[in-house]
Amino acid sequence: MTTVALTFDDGPYPGTTPALLAALGDALATFFLWGEHAAAHPSLVRAIAAAGHTIGNHTWTHPRLTGLDAGARDEEVRRTQDLLGDLIGTRPALFRPPYGDTGPAVAETIAGHGLTEVLWTVDTRDWAGASADEVVAAAARTEPDGVVLMHEGRPATVEAVPRILADLADRGLRPVPLPSSRP
């Protein structure tokens, strides 16, 4: 069976993360966590990890990284690495830049933290207010070995997940987390 990575940015959120975890059931995904949100909701970070999902770094304040100087960029990444490492016992190996805003300076910063950048092959546009039907339709465009971008704080996304999982199964695709963490 061929695989697809379902990814969720910006969490955790107390209003949607528990429902999202329930909607995923036994399916595993990758969660790119916003440091400020993780600091505010450490029990949700631990719940994501305990369910077997991969956790990645999505910066501390969700800025456009290419507009920051090197020190500020490093602080965004380091603070989140430190917090997530403390909360789950391992430091993330994966990084997703907010807005997909990346470039050579961002690559240099994350390399300094031993992180691998992950973008996506399909954007569900849930961040722009897409309905559950639109999120499902977008995710249906994913190809084998694709990476689907979704966001944790969107009720339409939570509603869409069971239908996305059913569609993937019908197409012979299995959701898997991206390669996880390092000690």
On whether the CB atoms of residues 115 and 146 are closer than 8 A, the answer is: no
Which string of DSSP letters, residue by residue, matches 92-134? Answer: ESEE--GGG---HHHHHHHHTTT-EE---SEE--GGGT--HHH
* CB-based contacts of 75, cutoff 8 Å, min separation 6: 60
What does the block give as tokens for 44? 């949700």
CA 60 from chain centre, in angstroms, equals 14
Residue 151 bears catalytic tag:
yes
How far apart are alpha carbons 141 and 123 in whole angstroms? Answer: 10
Q: Which of 9, 10, 37, 53 is catalytic?
A: 9
Residue 101 bears catalytic tag:
no
Q: Which of 41, 53, 58, 151 is catalytic?
A: 151
* Residues labelled catalytic: 9, 151
